[in-house]
Amino acid sequence: SILYKELLEGLWKGEPKKPFSPREFQERLGQLNPLFKKNNASDSKDFACFLIMQLHEELNLLDRTISCNQKIDNCDNIKLDLYDSNIVLKLFIKDFFLKQNSIITQYFYGINQNMFQCQNCKSNNNLPKKIKYNYENFFYIEFPLNEVRKHMMKNIGYMGMNYGMNYQNINQIDVCDCFKYYQSQNEIEGYCEICGLNNAKINMTTNIFSLPNILMIVFNRGKGLQYNIKINFGEILNLTNIVMNCKQNYELQSIVKHLGDNTPSGHFIAYCRSPIPNFHNYWFCYNDETVVQVNDFKSIVDIGVTYILFYQLKE
């Protein structure tokens, strides 16, 4: 965290129009993780995740001298009932914030709500229609674009198929479609405590229960045709009708783009909104030692391959 502080100071207090080399910062990261040693080709998502988690570990305010499990066991004498969403959520939040408490968790972490319902129990009138809950945290959301395309094709239905369409014909995806896929229902197999089936078919639905202040979105493109999928996104992201408990819009702050094909020979660049109030609507392209102002936001959407988006909750 000290080196990161010095990096920010070097960037903001350095000489105007003179490139700042983060050599010391890079060398230290290389010592912590060989993926980021000098001259190693590394993925920008891996770098962002490693840096965020490293900062969290160093800034975590957890009192490590006290057992978290002991704290939870003595907390309010709550009896765990996996079919009571309020109890499961309450215990999850208590457990999580006893173990993880940093500025990173405050700004980057959200909560997913997973719901499980046995199809056999649901169709049997003699069995209770219960839903099991669990909660999990995340500090970024990753969308597998190939699966998003399949989900979109499923929603198009037979009309699209009659016109000779298939999911590989879909070469443009809106970021909101990714969130709809993320919260769609899937079928899994597992044991049901209610009806006793070992290989019961269970409907699993993931809902985003709580979004973070800073939302990091990663587009997993894999290989082949999906690498050329265009992501449609705007400076404002409205998820109020898609995500529960989301009552405010998000404003785009930065974008990671990939130039070149899907081989390691490609190159990452970043587009960032100015954090200075009087220049808030100004965008800049950061390409190694070159920084250029961008006047047309549409050109940012169209250039290269969109890989990571960073949105911040709009005040």
Residue 123 sits at φ, ψ, to 5 deg, of -90, -10
Identity of the amino acid at 211: L
Does residue 241 contact residue 257 with C-beta atoms inside 8 Å? no
Six token digits for residue 58: 């160093």
Q: What is the pLDDT along the chain (315 residues), one digit of tens a residue?
A: 788 888 888 888 878 778 888 888 888 888 888 888 776 667 889 999 999 999 999 998 765 544 444 444 445 556 789 999 999 999 999 888 888 889 999 999 999 999 999 999 999 999 999 999 999 999 999 999 999 998 988 887 655 555 566 777 888 999 999 999 999 999 999 999 999 999 999 999 999 999 999 999 999 987 765 678 899 999 999 999 999 889 899 999 999 999 876 655 678 999 999 988 888 889 999 998 899 999 889 889 988 899 999 999 987
Model-level pTM?
A: 0.89
| Cα–Cα nearest to 182, from 150, 143, 209 | 143
Distance CA 245, CA 90 (A): 16
State whether residue 55 is helix, strand or coil: helix
CB of 170 closer than 8 Å to CB of 153: yes
Instruction: Give the residue carrying structure tokens 């009087």.
Output: 278
Element (H, E) at 307: strand 305-313
